[in-house]
Amino acid sequence: MEIPNRAEVIGYRDWYLKHPKYLNTVTQRAAPYLYLVAKEIEKRDMPMELVLLPVVESAYNPNARSPSNAVGLWQFTSGTGQRYGLKQDYWYDGRRDIQASTHAALDYLQKLHDDFNGDWFHAIAAYNAGEGRIQKAVDKSRRAGKSGDFWSLDLPRQTTEYVPRLLALADIIKNADSYGVKLPSHPNKQQWQQIDAGGQVSLSVVAEMAGLSLQEVKALNPGYLRGSTPSSGPHHLLVPKKDARELELALAELPSGRRLKPGEQFVLPGEEERVQLASQRRSKSNGQRAAQLTSYTVKSGDSLWSIGKAHGVTKAQLLSWNKLPHHQLKVGQTIKLQAKHTPQKPRKNYEVRRGDSLYSIAQRFQVSIDELKRLNRLSNNSQLKPGQTLIIKG
């Protein structure tokens, strides 16, 4: 990419140059992944600057999670990840998988590049903000008589900064000697290779067979969430290239009984169990009791989507709880669902003071006047007296 000499780029370049420790840390963290990402970009004949996009997105941390629950090197949300083929379940999250997420991210970036007629700045901005928002900004710029290029767009601050940050990094790395920057050197050769584990296997067993620490195996395979490959797949593993062939053959011959370390026990939850585990975790984190099973009679016009929306559950959960073979419902059919349980708010007492009114008490405790009346059986004509005790729902 051509890097423009604009104030926005210069500002970020100066910031990075004043923080060499950050540059050193992030390039060290990227070391296991850089070659794999770069080779995929090269294979697709895409701009090599894209190898730096995970620096801006996640600081090359495959376990990074944003406030909006975007995950992985490339910060995929759940929906976008699914749209680009990234499997997500109890055992595995493809958004954290180095190779799977890189393929998906580059597929998405290529689509955006094509959508914006070959403009990489627009494509990169759309990766951050969404193609709809960027297209609206382009149209608005052109209606105002401007060029419609990235620099003329009215965008949220995060997206306005996103492209300059990437370009500033690229400029520094291209011209490191000129800027007096010394970056860690990494061998430009394949160090890791993907193999087939031949079924479910403990990552600790793989570490022992490969002569690696468990942390090294997990760092190369962050998509596996439970310390093993899933029973239903995927079963691929990223391992050191020099031992890859021998390790794959050894795993193929490994008896099922040795795929676990002594003392390990795999729980193999189905969809229903996963739903219950997730529900229990949410209940604990929210201080709620576990959801109660209840039933619902299907009415005319109902669908799984409308029933799920009304009761705060998903279509997948309804299918699982009722073991429905298809999505069709019949009027009068009874289905099971777990209604969300809202815990009762604790009650406390308040002693009325001189000058108090229902309005001032309601404001103080952030409750409604009607709620105060209901809890204390007060009529519209009731007068408060100093020393009177009122029930307040916290």
* CATH number assigned to the domain comprising residue 366: 3.10.350.10
> Is 49 a known active-site residue?
no
In order along the chain (394 residues), what is the average pLDDT of each group of 10 residues? Answer: 93 93 90 93 96 95 91 95 93 95 96 96 95 95 95 94 96 93 84 91 91 92 92 90 90 82 52 47 49 67 69 72 68 71 59 78 75 80 81 72
Q: Which DSSP category does 95 fall into?
A: T
Q: Residue 98 is encoded by which pair of tokens?
A: 């180095």
End residue of a domain, out of 140, 174, 208: 174
pLDDT on residue 183: 84
- Classify residue 109: in a domain, yes or no: yes
User: Which residue is catalytic, options 57, 131, 253, 351?
Assistant: 57
Which H or E element spans position 285?
A: helix 271-285
Instruction: Encode 4-73 in three state secondary structure.
Output: CCCHHHHHHHHHHHHCHHHHHHHHHHHHHHHHHHHHHHHHCCCCHHHHHHHHHHHCCCCCCECCCCCECC
pLDDT on residue 310: 67
For tokens 């777990």, what's the residue?
A: 338
- Classify residue 181: in a domain, yes or no: no
One domain for residues 88 and 115: yes
For helices 315-322 and 271-285, give the axis angle rounded to 10 degrees: 120
pLDDT on residue 115: 94
One domain for residues 238 and 152: no
Q: Are 246 and 217 in contact (CB under 8 A)?
A: no
pLDDT on residue 285: 52
One domain for residues 47 and 92: yes
One domain for residues 122 and 228: no
Domain count, the chain: 4
Q: What are the φ/ψ torsions at residue 237 (nearest 5 degrees)?
A: -140, 140
Residues of the domain holding 22: 7-174
Which H or E element spans position 125?
A: helix 120-129
CA distance 36 to 29: 14
One domain for residues 310 and 366: no
pLDDT on residue 172: 95
One domain for residues 169 and 85: yes
One domain for residues 23 and 169: yes
CA distance 362 to 358: 6
C-alpha to C-alpha distances, 322 to 268, 272, 279, 288, 298, nearest whole angstrom = 20, 10, 16, 24, 13
One domain for residues 234 and 371: no
CA distance 96 to 75: 9
With residues binned 3-state (H G I as helix, E B as strand, rest as coil), the percentages for the chain, rounded to 5, are 50, 10, 40
pLDDT on residue 341: 43
CB atoms within 10 A of CB 27: 18
Q: Are 62 and 96 in contact (CB under 8 A)?
A: yes
Helix (H, G, I), strand (E, B) or coil at 188: coil
Amino acid at 172: I
One domain for residues 20 and 160: yes
- Classify residue 78: in a domain, yes or no: yes
Residues 265-274: contacts with CB within 8 Å, 24+ apart? 266/200, 266/226, 266/228, 266/231, 268/231, 269/90, 271/316, 271/320, 272/320, 272/321, 274/89, 274/90
One domain for residues 62 and 205: no
Instruction: Encode 128-187 in three state secondary structure.
Output: HHCHHHHHHHHHHHHHCCCCCCHHHCCCCHHHHHHHHHHHHHHHHHHCCCCCCCCCCCCC
One domain for residues 201 and 307: no
Helix (H, G, I), strand (E, B) or coil at 376: helix
pLDDT on residue 328: 66
| Pairing mode, strands 192-196 and 236-240 | antiparallel
**Largest Cα span, the chain:** 87
End residue of a domain, out of 319, 339, 359: 339
One domain for residues 305 and 243: no
For tokens 């307040």, what's the residue?
A: 392
CA distance 167 to 171: 6
CA distance 285 to 234: 30
Q: Peptide bond preceding 234: is omega within 30 degrees of 0, i.e. cis?
A: yes
Angle at 57 between CA 53 and CA 62, to 5 degrees: 100
C-alpha to C-alpha distances, 88 to 153, 239, 319, 370, nearest whole angstrom = 35, 22, 18, 46
Domain holding 158: CATH number? 1.10.530.10
